[in-house]
Protein backbone atom coordinates (compact mmCIF):
# COMPACT_ATOMS: atom_id res chain seq x y z
CA UNK A 1 0.00 0.00 0.00
CA UNK A 2 1.31 3.44 -0.90
CA UNK A 3 2.26 5.80 1.90
CA UNK A 4 2.60 9.58 1.40
CA UNK A 5 6.26 10.66 1.37
CA UNK A 6 5.49 14.01 3.03
CA UNK A 7 2.77 15.14 5.38
CA UNK A 8 -0.06 17.16 3.78
CA UNK A 9 0.15 20.75 5.01
CA UNK A 10 -2.77 22.50 6.72
CA UNK A 11 -3.14 24.86 3.77
CA UNK A 12 -3.33 22.10 1.16
CA UNK A 13 -5.76 20.12 3.29
CA UNK A 14 -8.03 23.14 3.76
CA UNK A 15 -7.85 24.07 0.06
CA UNK A 16 -9.03 20.55 -0.81
CA UNK A 17 -11.95 20.77 1.63
CA UNK A 18 -13.28 24.21 0.65
CA UNK A 19 -16.21 22.74 -1.31
CA UNK A 20 -17.38 20.63 1.65
CA UNK A 21 -19.01 23.51 3.54
CA UNK A 22 -22.70 23.42 4.34
CA UNK A 23 -25.16 25.84 2.77
CA UNK A 24 -28.36 27.17 4.25
CA UNK A 25 -31.47 26.11 2.31
CA UNK A 26 -33.11 28.76 0.15
CA UNK A 27 -36.46 29.85 1.57
CA UNK A 28 -38.92 32.31 0.05
CA UNK A 29 -42.20 33.72 1.33
CA UNK A 30 -45.63 33.37 -0.17
CA UNK A 31 -46.79 36.67 -1.67
CA UNK A 32 -50.37 36.10 -0.56
CA UNK A 33 -50.17 34.68 2.98
CA UNK A 34 -46.51 35.15 3.92
CA UNK A 35 -45.79 31.49 4.69
CA UNK A 36 -42.23 30.19 4.29
CA UNK A 37 -41.69 27.75 1.42
CA UNK A 38 -39.10 26.49 -1.06
CA UNK A 39 -38.80 28.41 -4.35
CA UNK A 40 -40.84 27.33 -7.41
CA UNK A 41 -43.42 25.44 -5.37
CA UNK A 42 -47.07 26.01 -4.60
CA UNK A 43 -47.87 27.29 -1.12
CA UNK A 44 -49.17 24.55 1.16
CA UNK A 45 -51.06 27.04 3.35
CA UNK A 46 -53.12 28.92 0.75
CA UNK A 47 -52.58 26.91 -2.46
CA UNK A 48 -51.28 29.77 -4.61
CA UNK A 49 -48.39 29.77 -7.09
CA UNK A 50 -47.39 32.99 -8.86
CA UNK A 51 -50.58 34.70 -7.64
CA UNK A 52 -52.83 31.97 -9.13
CA UNK A 53 -54.90 29.43 -7.23
CA UNK A 54 -53.51 25.99 -8.18
CA UNK A 55 -54.35 23.84 -5.12
CA UNK A 56 -57.48 23.36 -3.10
CA UNK A 57 -56.38 23.48 0.55
CA UNK A 58 -58.65 22.45 3.40
CA UNK A 59 -58.56 24.67 6.46
CA UNK A 60 -57.40 23.05 9.71
CA UNK A 61 -59.73 23.17 12.68
Average pLDDT over residues 9-23: 92
pLDDT at 59: 75
pLDDT at 61: 63
pLDDT at 12 over 80: yes
pLDDT band at 8 (very low <50, low <70, confident <90, very high): very high
Strand partners, 36: 29
**What b-and-e string marks burial along 14-43, b requiring 16 or more CB atoms within 10 Å of the CB?**
eeeeeeeeeeeeeeeebeeeeeebeeeebb
pLDDT band at 60 (very low <50, low <70, confident <90, very high): low
**What is the residue-averaged pLDDT of the chain?**
90
Amino acid sequence: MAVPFRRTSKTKKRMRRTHLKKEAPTITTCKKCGAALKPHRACTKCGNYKNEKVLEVQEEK
